[in-house]
Amino acid sequence: MIRKLSHVSIFVLDQDRAVGFYTKKLGMEIRADSKMGDFRWVTVGPKDQPEMEIVLLPIVPGPTLDAAAAKQFRELVGKGVICPGVFQTDDVRADYEELKKKGVEFKRESSSRARPPSDTTGPRPSSRTIQAIGSA
């Protein structure tokens, strides 16, 4: 019987850059970083959520993507049209300001207007769109 979700994949254009972004900018910790032949398995996660790992997967041809599909997928990720998930925060506005100081680019400014519950579309490593929600 399935008990819980333990890993979520975020496709990245550059694993080293993504690791730096998620650890240095967003404050996550590296959970795993190992090589399996030419493949590098890297996971990160929020320090307060040890049971969840985010797999930072490079978009390369392989068993699930042929070369043409990998190229198309890289283009879509590069345009920022794929939203890999939503991060929860206790104070969206304060975290938005802190991330801006760290050099994180946002598509739009944080808002205090109610949108379940309050959101900002944000951190864009490799032109990726991520949404953050928190209590208003």
> What b/e string do you get for 21-48 counting C-beta neighbours within 10 Å, with b at 16 or more?
bbeeebebeeeeeeeeeeeeebbbbeee
Task: State the average pLDDT for the chain.
Answer: 83
What pLDDT is recorded for position 87? 84
What pLDDT is recorded for position 89? 84
What average pLDDT score do residues 51-60 get?
95
Please check whether the domain covering 7-134 is classified as CATH 3.40.50.360.
no
Going by their DSSP bridges, the two strands 53-58 and 119-122 should be labelled as unpaired
Q: What percent of the chain stands above pLDDT 70?
A: 80
Whole-model pTM: value is 0.79
Give pLDDT tens digits for 101-118: 998 888 777 665 544 444
pLDDT over 50 (residue 67): yes
pLDDT over 90 (residue 66): yes
What is the C-alpha to C-alpha distance for residues 119 and 105, in angstroms, rounded to an integer?
A: 15
Token readout for 127 is 């032109």
What average pLDDT score do residues 68-95 get?
87
Strands (E) across the chain are located at 7-12, 29-36, 39-45, 53-58, 86-89, 119-122, 130-134
pLDDT over 70 (residue 35): yes
